Copies of this chain bind each other. A is one copy, B any other.
Amino acid sequence: MTTIDGPVSIGELAKAASTQVVTIRYYERIGLLPSPRRTPGNYRTYDREQVFRLRFIRRCRDLGFTLDQIRDLLRLSARKEQDCTDVDRLAAAHLEEVEKKIADLKRLAAELHRLNNCCEGGGRIADCRIIDALSH
């Protein structure tokens, strides 16, 4: 995690937030990042605040939040004087979703396990239990 001091180019921002340049432009287009100032040569320049904002976004993405949820979190995080019930709720709801997904995948893995165990290998396709099982 490098420290940022002055205004930086989009490439430097990308590096500082472990993002790709195209992704930053994409976030700008969909309104997740504000349009930054431009140099006389029409290059984007970012200040410290945008670096923090992008890092926040990436951290949330890493945790599996959708861009819409992140939009909410950003909006909420700006209202410093309001209480944080909504933030708590959002995070809890997301955790619940993730745990549901894990449960789904576990059931799936169990079924795939059964599938894989039913074929000893080396036989003909015509006798393959996997194909058979997939056909019901």
Residues of A within 8 A of B (CB): 1, 52, 55-56, 59-60, 63-64, 73, 76-77, 79-85, 87-88, 91-92, 94-95, 98-99, 101-102, 105-106, 108-109, 111-113, 115-116, 119, 121-128, 130-131, 134-136
Give the residues in chain B near A1, CB-CB below 8 Å: 136
Least Cβ distance of A127 to chain B in Å?
Answer: 8
Give the residues in chain B near A81, CB-CB below 8 Å: 124-126
Q: How many copies does the complex hold?
A: 2
Task: Summarize A's interface: helix, strand, loop or mixed.
Answer: helix
Q: Which one of B76, B95, B116 lies within 8 Å of A91 (CB-CB)?
A: B116
Give the residues in chain B near A130, CB-CB below 8 Å: 84, 87-88, 91
Give the residues in chain B near A106, CB-CB below 8 Å: 102
Answer whether A131 and B73 are a contact pair too, CB < 8 Å, given A83-B125, A108-B63, A111-B63. yes
